Amino acid sequence: MSKQEGINAISKAMTALPAQLSDTILKHIHSLTDYEPVIGIMGKTGAGKSSLCNALFAGEVSPVSDVAAGTREPLRFRLQAGERFMTIVDLPGVGESESRDAEYAAMYRQQLPHLDLVLWLVKADDRALAVDEHFYCQIIGEDHRHKVMFVISQSDKIEPVSGNTKSLSIPQLRSIRRKTEILSTLFTPVHPVCAVSVRMQYGITLMAERMIRCLPREASSPVSARLQQPLRTTRVKETARTDFSEAVGDVLDSIAAMPFVPQIARTVLRYVRNAVVSVAHVVWDFFF
Ligand SMILES: Nc1nc2c(ncn2[C@@H]2O[C@H](COP(=O)(O)OP(=O)(O)OP(=O)(O)O)[C@@H](O)[C@H]2O)c(=O)[nH]1
Ligand SMILES: [Mg+2]
């Protein structure tokens, strides 16, 4: 299956449009298929950020900037899987000194608009949540909270820890549910709180499915393509497929709304819109 075949199929659904207009639309669809997502990751040091990224995403990781130890700059990693790229930004600050709040606020104001989603890890046995709450309230502006997804990490470390190294015990699962409720109350997050353990491979599939649902339309398919193979579940693919076809619909709508488009072309555009969206839905596999 090649990308070109997908493009051809979409192009066929637009034969009624003037060539110039369908070319413009195809160019936009091309850039949707090439979109390079950017995911931020936050949490205190040792929360399990690197471990979770490795559990979620496949591919070669290369640091983009090497920053000297001690400097608190976001670390960018570019992840390559085949011809596809994704960027992970390791964001500093949580649990550090309040005296640097102004500095962090400025850094986050600069970073957040460029991130598709931020995974915020809270270690299961970390009770110093006031620090996270302070940071969330002071540093992450209201208008970016929809980009934050809270994840309870290292769930196997929650009390009561047993000798079992394969799965969480029933009392631990109960503690996890309580911790989830505590975080939900404390942060009133836009998205549901997830719990994972990389060590025990607990909760990762569900977390990945929710992450795909939290992502903006244009980002869910490219992120799904970079997930570890077992995490590319039917649900992940269906969410991504629908998002992609709706993003294609958005392209047509925005072009139909442009002032230079002649009335007649606008009418044809509205007429073919749903057919194009349906084709995009079907040919998703050619792209991702
Ligand atoms: N028991 C257990 N340990 C884990 C889990 N995930 C990570 N760890 C361990 O926790 C430690 C910290 O994990 P990292 O992934 O390096 O954490 P980090 O947030 O990237 O840390 P910094 O980059 O230093 O901020 C490592 O020793 C991991 O092996 C988990 O699910 N369960
Ligand atoms: Mg790390």
SS3 per residue for the chain: CCHHHHHHHHHHCCCCCCHHHHHHHHHHHHHHHCCCCEEEEECCCCCCHHHHHHHHECCEEEECCCCCCCCCCCEEEEEEECCEEEEEEECCCCCCCHHHHHHHHHHHHHHHHHCCEEEEEEECCCCCHHHHHHHHHHHCCHHHHHHEEEEEECHHHCCCCCCCCCCCCHHHHHHHHHHHHHHHHHHCCCCCCEECECCCCECHHHHHHHHHHHCCHHHHHHHHCCECHHHCCHHHHHHHHHHHHHHHHHHHHHHHCCCCCCHHHHHHHHHHHHHHHHHHHHCHHHHC
- For 201-254, the pLDDT digits (tens) are 999 999 999 999 999 999 999 999 999 999 999 999 999 999 999 999 999 999
Comparing 174 with 59, the larger pLDDT belongs to 174
pLDDT at 60 over 80: no
Tally the residues of the chain.
288
Residue 7's Cβ-count burial label (10 Å; 0-12, 13-18, 19+) is middle
Phi and psi angles of residue 144, each rounded to the nearest 5 degrees, phi first: -115, 5
**CA–CA gap between residue 272 and residue 249 (Å, rounded):** 10
For residues 17 and 118, the answer to whether their CB atoms sit within 8 Å is no
Considering the chain, what is the average pLDDT of its residues? 93
Ion ligand 2 residues within 5 Å by Cβ:
49-50
For residues 192 and 210, the answer to whether their CB atoms sit within 8 Å is yes
- For the CA of 121, the closest atom of ligand 1 is 19
Average pLDDT value for residue range 75-85: 87
Q: Structure pTM?
A: 0.94
Please name the amino acid found at residue 63.
P
Question: Which amino acid residue places its CA nearest to atom 10 of ligand 1?
Answer: 48
Question: Which amino acid residue places its CA nearest to atom 14 of ligand 1?
Answer: 48
- For 90-143, the pLDDT digits (tens) are 998 888 888 888 888 899 999 999 999 999 999 999 999 999 999 999 999 899
User: Looking at the CA of 61, which ligand is closest?
Assistant: 2
Average pLDDT value for residue range 70-87: 82
Average pLDDT value for residue range 265-281: 96
Prior bond to 259 cis, omega within 30?
no
- For 189-203, the pLDDT digits (tens) are 999 999 999 999 999
pLDDT value of residue 266: 94
Residues with CB under 6 A from ligand 1: 43, 45-51, 154, 156-157, 197-199
User: Looking at the CA of 42, which ligand is closest?
Assistant: 1
pLDDT value of residue 274: 97
What spacing in Å lies between the alpha carbon of 46 and ligand 2's midpoint?
A: 7
Average pLDDT value for residue range 48-76: 77
User: Looking at the CA of 63, which ligand is closest?
Assistant: 2
pLDDT value of residue 239: 98
pLDDT value of residue 228: 96
pLDDT value of residue 101: 86
pLDDT at 71 over 80: no
- For 128-187, the pLDDT digits (tens) are 999 999 999 999 989 999 999 999 999 999 999 988 888 999 999 999 999 999 999 999
Lowest mean pLDDT across 37-51, 62-76, 132-146, 161-175: 62-76
